[in-house]
Copies of this chain bind each other. A is one copy, B any other.
Amino acid sequence: MSATVLYMSMSLDGFVTGPNDGPGNGLGDGGGRLFNWLDHRLEPGPSGQVYNEALATGAVISGRRTFELAGQWGGDHHDGVPILVLTHEIPDSEPPGSARYVTDVAEAATLAKAGAGEKDVMVHGAGAAQALLRAGLLDEMEIHLVPVLLGGGRRLFDHLGPEHVELELTRTLHGPGVTHLHYLVDKVARPGPS
């Protein structure tokens, strides 16, 4: 069965952007540091492997913020696959290309899985990750752990509430300047604090 998989670069201190991310500064101040490993994305080796896996997905779920900061990917994240954009309010203007606005996280997950067919669904952005985790709808995570402390920025894991989410590390790949950690997400509700 296809899986819904988060792909995100994260510093050891948990940030996915530098400080002050926003229009014209999508990665935040100094946040480009997190993506140096992508220099190796077209080479044989672990980082190329992980990059190819990401681009083999059959649909994308993104938060509205990430979508806008990425220039809406020109309407085509990769291979014209469906892009489900989570937003609080549907804008008046239609999104470009294969993108579609959705307000309900469960609907986004369902539409993405249907659109991806046999393939996995890529999730991108902290907002989408958090919404899917809270809803128990994220199956796996590929965290590109970058050996740097950014000291500030937008955190990947935030606003999740006190319930524990148990994970299972199923693969570790070391690329130049990055460790790719693959986790399964245990979606069974946990008692949390005890």
> A residues touching B (Cβ–Cβ < 8 Å)?
12-14, 18-19, 29-30, 32-33, 133, 143, 147-152, 155-158, 160-169, 172, 174, 179, 181, 183, 192-194
Q: Compute how far the CA of A157 lies from the CA of B147 in the bound complex, rounded to whole angstroms.
A: 13
Q: Compute how far the CA of A133 lies from the CA of B149 in the bound complex, rounded to whole angstroms.
A: 10
| Interface contact A149-B174, CB-CB below 8 Å | no
Main secondary structure of the interface of A (DSSP, over half): loop
Copies in the assembly, this chain:
2
- Inside 8 A of A160's CB, which chain B residues have their CB? 13, 149, 151-152
* Nearest CB in chain B to that of A31: its residue: B193
Q: Compute how far the CA of A33 lies from the CA of B174 in the bound complex, rounded to whole angstroms.
A: 27
| Interface contact A164-B147, CB-CB below 8 Å | no
| Interface contact A18-B167, CB-CB below 8 Å | no
Rounded to whole Å, the gap between the CB of A126 and the closest CB of chain B is 11
| Interface contact B147-A166, CB-CB below 8 Å | yes
